[in-house]
Structure 1
């Protein structure tokens, strides 16, 4: 059966909250890992990705498939889901968080692959336009923005992996139930 009630109610004292959070239930173990603070970090990463993506509009970087926009949106959504799951921990919210974390990991791997391709293309363009002062300075700025986004994506991967593991453990049942069904053998008739 699913626990739909929040484990920590409003109006409880700090001592009661500590006692509830030190419980061994799976959802309480999820709350012990502070998904709200990690959700805030992911939200900030997402906002930074979105805002820096506006600087890349029209550039020959990862904007061909709009990486900063959809990856930033994924980060923001998973950050909001983490914050909501911390405030209202149920198996449904943790499952939604787990799916958003896995989707973000997949998106980061696609973005990293495309950004590596973009770096090679940008360094080629930087070499090609090395005698044009304006073009080289603009390409250097784009390479810096792309490298900042690349590093922030690399920093977000361990957070997402950690949150995936914690969410998987939170979804495991603390009580294993086995249903044994006994089906009687059909009556045998012996004929002599």
Structure 2
């Protein structure tokens, strides 16, 4: 009975992939689940903290960059988490594409947030140059300092998220580049043991 089982399994075609899941392991080395959780949390924070920035319409503090950047971070983080659960070439390709799009979004958001910070500093300087009462100047300075602080928080979140996206882009690109050169060896007729 043992010989029949051995001869039945010896006649079946055997397919072996050299290198195994090495390309996937190159992507998984970047800990996509951990980075995905961090990006989701940063995205939620950007989205939630962006709500107060759109309420005062009269002071030129409306900023919509945190909203769409928070959405991009959340989507990218969810794809990273899913790609560690089900590592495949399609998921790694989707991660690479979203990382590149989100990196461009970070560049645009950093420019937009920097412009708002410099605009707020200019507004404080402009109002100090004109004759204002001390009370008006105090309230205006307090308002713009709070807005500038939120802008600095958004800027830090954007830069940290951009660094994480660039790191994951490198890991995804390394995994996809190495999967193109993977060889498949198929053995149909096994040599006899004799």
Give the TM bin, normalised by the shorter chain.
0.7 to 0.9
What is the aligned counterpart of 1:176 among 155, 177, 181? 181
Aligned CA-pair RMSD: 2.1
1:62 and 1:84 mapped to 2: Cα distance? 34
Bigger helix fraction? 2
Contact 1:61 1:146 (C-alpha < 8 Å) held by counterparts = no
Q: Secondary structure at the match of 1:40?
A: helix
What is the aligned counterpart of 1:94 among 78, 92, 95? 92
How many pairs does the alignment contain? 155
Residue by residue, what CA displacement relative to the aligned partner does 1:19-40 show, whole Å, maximum 9, x if unpaired? xxxx661012211221100111
Residue by residue, what CA displacement relative to the aligned partner does 1:128-165 show, whole Å, maximum 9, x if unpaired? 34442222211111100000110111112221111000
Residues 149 and 90 (structure 1), Cα distance of their counterparts in 2 relative to 1, 3 Å cut: same
5+ unaligned residues in a row in structure 2: which ranges? 1-19, 129-133, 184-194
The residue that corresponds to 1:25 in the other structure is 22
Contact 2:36 2:77 (C-alpha < 8 Å) held by counterparts = yes
5+ unaligned residues in a row in structure 1: which ranges? 1-22, 179-192
1:144 and 1:35 mapped to 2: Cα distance? 31
Q: Please say if 1:118 is aligned against 2:116.
A: yes
TM-score, normalisation: structure 2: 0.73
Contact 1:39 1:80 (C-alpha < 8 Å) held by counterparts = yes
1:82 and 1:50 mapped to 2: Cα distance? 19
Q: Secondary structure at the match of 2:50?
A: helix
Contact 2:55 2:62 (C-alpha < 8 Å) held by counterparts = no
Shift of 1:58: 3.2
The residue that corresponds to 1:143 in the other structure is 148
Shift of 1:177: 7.2
Q: Which of the two has higher C-alpha Rg?
A: 2
Residue by residue, what CA displacement relative to the aligned partner does 1:64-97 show, whole Å, maximum 9, x if unpaired? xx10110110001000110010111111111111
Bigger strand fraction? 2
Residue by residue, what CA displacement relative to the aligned partner does 1:85-133 show, whole Å, maximum 9, x if unpaired? 0111111111111111111110011111112211111001122344422
Q: Flag the structure with more relative contact order, 1 or 2, with Cα contacts below 8 A and sequence separation at least 6.
A: 2
Contact 2:54 2:62 (C-alpha < 8 Å) held by counterparts = no
